[in-house]
Chains A and B, each alone.
Chain A
Amino acid sequence: MSAATVLALVLAVVPLPSTWRRLPEWVGFAGIVATLALAVAQWGERQVAFSGELRIDRFGLLLTWIILPAALAAILFSWGEPSAAGRRPEFVGLVLAAATGMMLTVMSGDLITLFIGIELLSVALYILCAIEVSRERSRESGLKYLITGSIGTAILIYGFALLYGATGTTSLTGIALKLDTMDGLLTEPLLVAAIVLIVVALGFKASAVPFHMWTPDVYQGAPTPVTAFMGTGTKVAAMGAFLLVFTGATQQASGDWRALIGALAVVTMVVGNVGALMQGNIKRMLAWSSIAQAGYLLIGVAVGTAAGAEALIYYLFAYVAMTLAAFAIVMLREREVEAGDTQVAFTGFGRARPWAGVVMTLAMTSLAGFPPLPGFVGKFLLFGSAVDAGMSWLAIVGALASVMSVVYYLRVVIVMWSPAPEGARSARRLRVPLSVASVAAAGAVAIIALAVWAQPLLDLCAGAARALVIP
């Protein structure tokens, strides 16, 4: 993966003959496919590299299976995107770098690696947000993300430092062993402070409320391929980090942080859904909904059990499939009409392009949690893990929050299938680019497959969750 990253970045400075203009993308594909093949081939193995800094186990590998398709989708999205045309090598290279950071994050066995992974992905994304340098909103989005992200970074390193100070080790396994010998967090003020700071910092990355303020602006301002990648890959990495630190390393003290993360989940679900309810712009709505979805995902962290982790990982698969499918449709529309991400622009889109309408309907109903789609199965498992862990209140708030989400997700569906407003200029009908259509189709197929074959995937998730709690 790193090799492909480097190669792509080299291509950025090497002047390419025009016949090779797709070379960066092909390098990106090759890198991703090769890495994915490796990740699949290594499934079931448990390796430790760099004296425990890097842990290649089922947990990390399974999350890699989500991160890599998201990166692939980002490159496909940018294919032929006019604004990114001049900067393809940089774009591909940065996406690969960010994906590397995400993989490093979820495979880390040590606080240092974890931090490096998160930084690598963040820095790459700061630049990606601002990659359309000629567009003011894109630059602004990158700057906003950089500023808030840096604060998050500072808090994260502070939290890690305190955790190291309290336990005397940076190894996640070492922390778990050390906590075994202590009687909970509360006896050690340093630990309490560390946990709070880490929750805040990771909350920034996962855009959990109240650290979500940057999300809607950045999502809307960034180029849509980047938004799609941020909305999916970063979420996977941040949730992976949450699981590594909480369900993995500090599970011994779970009694002390469960309520904290549970409260975070509640606020995130409620605020995210209320925010999404107010949006008239689909990209902003998806940004707010991704905040709300982070809330549901946090339930899986808050329960602190293997069952919670298992449900969370399954939901990540579902979430990425649903979000990528939705973004693919938004991209299609953006190419056809100006301001294509507003609800007005979507009116009648489903009638004009029934297949796009079907994919969007699938994605929206699944995100809203309608059975038997994977969004429902995931929520069902998450709520189930909460009830099982004696946190029924979390499940109830989650259910009520989902009701709100139904309104705004279905609004998109209604708008899409409504007749186009009278007197409206019929939109240009462009040929659907194969690259975007393939992501939409793959997303739709994944949504259906995740529902029908939930069990095989859940078996994999259970394996990953076990790898997490047994260091």
Chain B
Amino acid sequence: MPWVSTLILIPLVTALVLAFVPARDRRTARGIVLVGSFLALAASIVVLALFDRDLAVLQQVDHLDWIPAAGVSWDVGVDGISIWLVLLTTVIFTLGVILACQRLPQQRGGIFLALIMLAEAGLLGLFTAGDLILFYVFWEFMLIPFALLIWNWGGSERRSAGMIFVAYTMVGSLLMLVAIVATGIIAMDHTGQLSFLMRDLMGVPYGEATATVLLAGFLLAFAIKIPLWPFHGWLPRVYSQAPIVVTILLAAVMSKAGVYGLLRVGVPMFPEGIGNLLIPVAILALIGIVYGSLLAWRAPTMRLLVGYSSVAHLGFIVLGIIVIDRLAAQGAVLQMINHGIVAAAAFVIVMILARGTGTEDIDRLGGLARGAPRLAVAFLFVTMAALALPGSNAFVGEFFILGGVFDQYAWMAVIALLGVIYAAVYMLRMYQGTMNGPPRGVQDGGRAAEMTARDAIVLVPLILMMAWIAVWPNSIVAPTRASTDLAVAPAQIVLERPTDQIGVLPDRAAAVGTASEPPPGAAGVRP
């Protein structure tokens, strides 16, 4: 059974079916979308169950020729990096769909849900693509549903927000297309045939100059999507204008597309180019961490605060990948998942608060904890996770990243630490500003903002997942190890890092189909 292809097709078919539901029949639309998203979730769990954690290469591959003459094929599968992102996508989208069903837009709710399903299909395809062209296809594919969601259901400035979103992303992605084409054609000299399969392109010696140029082409697209400073111009407008459900999906899942591309395509495919771009990209990431944190500190609304904090957190993830270190890379993968869950939870809380009080301005709120104790507890939990307090799930991820970065470039770790400190400042500002102090913003002491049972359906699973990762991070990290090691190993060799860094080089073992030794060094423990 081609499970991975099925996984992508389920939301696609759901969207198609939804398009045929009459606009009036909102109940049917809700039913269909819930069934569709739960089926996708179930399929992703099946894929996880079939996943072999010792294998570093792409597994459960479905391959179908599309345009053989141009070397393009439908090639999807999962590896240790993508498996969790696939699960994150299906989980967050299921929760997002539940949220969307709870407050379905009056106008064309069915189409709203159909577009969300299309976006899910795009993201699932992106995270499983084994062919560069297919990767690009899905990269662009998800843009249209997201743009239409913003355009039709967003805030008062939705038009310009949607346009900025599309224009920014297209600039990057079309140059990426040129880079993809160039990669395939240059690689043809080595492989003898035109192919865009990532596994064929891996290990092609491009030479330092060529690899740098090609990597830069990819990096621009990734940087815009991440968004890496100074390419974050689209983020404030889009995050604040999009319907909140869409903002949740954008922040929790779509923001991972760029970092995923960096780890899946950029680093392993062009190791010779990393040497030239490592420091510049790391500096951009560091600026993003500090600058994003400062913006979050001064952000007027809760939504913008969480949005800007994403810039900082994603800066951490980029740093973890670009310094080329096993530990940091594993931390980056873990942090992708953490950020997805925490950002989603934070936005859900923003949504509950905004619904209860009618405002998202931090300065116009206060003392809500008295009337909304359950929300206050949940919010506190999320705040702790967002500022990566020891014992929270994000702490483990940040610790991995900072540990790895410190090993390579101590100064970078020192600057990045600023981000950790600032996180405490802005998250506590938001928490204290809204929950503590004299009651402000609502008449009934905040009872309107209390978490209802319907909110809990969405929020509680997120908090449980945070707790799970906080207690047992190795359950997430262990399956990713083989694949992250394989991804950073070529760059480590090029950078002439000490060989003990590289681990067991799982590619050799995995390539012949035998299970590799579990890499030495348990989570977080380093000599």
Q: Which of B143-184 contact A (CB under 8 A)?
A: 143-144, 147-148, 151-152, 159, 162-163, 166-167, 170-171, 174-175, 177-178, 181-182, 184
Total interface residues on B, using CB and 8 Å? 34
Decide if A380 touches B140 in the complex (CB within 8 Å).
no
Residues of B within 8 A of A406 (CB): 166-167, 170
Residues of B within 8 A of A459 (CB): 69
Decide if B175 touches A371 in the complex (CB within 8 Å).
no
Given the interface contacts A403-B167, A403-B171, does A396 sit within 8 Å of B178 by beta carbon? Answer: yes
Decide if A371 touches B152 in the complex (CB within 8 Å).
no
CB distance from B191 to the nearest CB of A (A): 15
Q: Which of A376-427 contact B (CB under 8 A)?
A: 376-377, 379-381, 383-384, 387-388, 392, 395-396, 399-400, 402-403, 406-407, 410, 413-414, 417-419
Residues of B within 8 A of A351 (CB): 108
Q: In the complex, what distance in Å separates the CA atom of A396 from the CA atom of B181?
A: 11
Summarize B's interface: helix, strand, loop or mixed. helix
Interface: B382 (CB within 8 A): no
Residues of A within 8 A of B151 (CB): 414, 417-418
Q: In the complex, what distance in Å separates the CA atom of A370 from the CA atom of B152?
A: 20
Q: Which of B43-87 contact A (CB under 8 A)?
A: 65-70
Interface: B452 (CB within 8 A): no
Decide if A402 touches B107 in the complex (CB within 8 Å).
no
Give a binary string over A21-38; 1 marks a CB under 8 Å from any B CB, 0 the rest: 000000000000000000
Interface: A365 (CB within 8 A): yes
Give a binary string over B124-146; 1 marks a CB under 8 Å from any A CB, 0 the rest: 00000000010011001101100
Interface: A18 (CB within 8 A): no
Decide if B144 touches A380 in the complex (CB within 8 Å).
no
Residues of B within 8 A of A462 (CB): 69
Interface: A372 (CB within 8 A): yes
CB distance from B207 to the nearest CB of A (A): 15
Residues of A within 8 A of B159 (CB): 414
> 16 A-B pairs, CB-CB below 8 angstroms?
A351-B108, A380-B133, A383-B177, A384-B70, A384-B181, A387-B182, A395-B182, A402-B174, A403-B167, A407-B166, A413-B148, A414-B159, A417-B152, A455-B67, A458-B69, A459-B69
Interface: B284 (CB within 8 A): no
CB-based nearest B residue for A377: B67
CB-based nearest A residue for B68: A455
Decide if A395 touches B167 in the complex (CB within 8 Å).
no
Decide if B181 touches A410 in the complex (CB within 8 Å).
no
Give a binary string over A351-379; 1 marks a CB under 8 Å from any B CB, 0 the rest: 10000000000000100011110001101
Residues of B within 8 A of A410 (CB): 147, 163, 166
CB-based nearest A residue for B108: A351
Interface: A263 (CB within 8 A): no
Decide if B69 touches A399 in the complex (CB within 8 Å).
no
Interface: B378 (CB within 8 A): no
CB distance from B349 to the nearest CB of A (A): 31
Interface: B204 (CB within 8 A): no
Interface: A1 (CB within 8 A): no
Residues of B within 8 A of A407 (CB): 163, 166-167
Residues of B within 8 A of A376 (CB): 137, 140
Interface centre among A395, A410, A413, A455 (most CB of B within 10 A): A410
Summarize A's interface: helix, strand, loop or mixed. helix
Given the interface contacts A380-B133, A387-B185, A392-B182, does A454 sit within 8 Å of B174 by beta carbon? Answer: no
CB distance from B139 to the nearest CB of A (A): 8
CB distance from A213 to the nearest CB of B (A): 28
Q: How many residue pairs between the two chains, A and B, have CB atoms under 8 Å in the bound complex? A: 89
CB distance from A419 to the nearest CB of B (A): 7
CB distance from A199 to the nearest CB of B (A): 25
The residue that A370 contacts in the complex, of B66, B140, B185, with Cβ under 8 A, is B140
CB distance from A323 to the nearest CB of B (A): 20
CB distance from B12 to the nearest CB of A (A): 12
Decide if A371 touches B140 in the complex (CB within 8 Å).
yes
Residues of B within 8 A of A370 (CB): 140-141, 143-144
Residues of A within 8 A of B184 (CB): 384
Q: In the complex, what distance in Å separates the CA atom of A403 from the CA atom of B178?
A: 13
Residues of B within 8 A of A414 (CB): 148, 151, 159, 162
Decide if A371 touches B136 in the complex (CB within 8 Å).
yes
Residues of B within 8 A of A381 (CB): 70
Q: In the complex, what distance in Å separates the CA atom of A146 from the CA atom of B144?
A: 42
CB-based nearest B residue for A414: B151
Given the interface contacts A371-B137, A410-B166, A414-B151, does A383 sit within 8 Å of B178 by beta carbon? Answer: yes
Residues of A within 8 A of B148 (CB): 413-414, 417
Decide if B181 touches A395 in the complex (CB within 8 Å).
yes
Q: In the complex, what distance in Å separates the CA atom of A365 from the CA atom of B148?
A: 12
Residues of A within 8 A of B178 (CB): 383, 387, 392, 395-396, 399
Residues of A within 8 A of B69 (CB): 455, 458-459, 462
Residues of B within 8 A of A400 (CB): 171, 174-175
Residues of B within 8 A of A379 (CB): 177
CB-based nearest B residue for A384: B181
> Known pairs A370-B141, A395-B178. 15 more at Cβ < 8 A?
A371-B133, A371-B136, A377-B67, A380-B133, A387-B178, A395-B181, A395-B182, A399-B177, A400-B175, A406-B170, A407-B163, A414-B151, A418-B151, A454-B67, A455-B66
Decide if A372 touches B181 in the complex (CB within 8 Å).
no
CB distance from A135 to the nearest CB of B (A): 35
Closest 10 CB pairs of A and B: A371-B137, A399-B174, A384-B181, A454-B67, A403-B170, A406-B170, A372-B137, A395-B178, A399-B178, A387-B182
Q: Which of B95-142 contact A (CB under 8 A)?
A: 107-108, 133, 136-137, 140-141
Q: In the complex, what distance in Å separates the CA atom of A410 from the CA atom of B144?
A: 9
Q: In the complex, what distance in Å separates the CA atom of A201 from the CA atom of B167?
A: 35
CB-based nearest B residue for A371: B137
CB-based nearest B residue for A462: B69
The residue that A365 contacts in the complex, of B144, B171, B177, B182, with Cβ under 8 A, is B144
Q: In the complex, what distance in Å separates the CA atom of A396 from the CA atom of B177?
A: 9
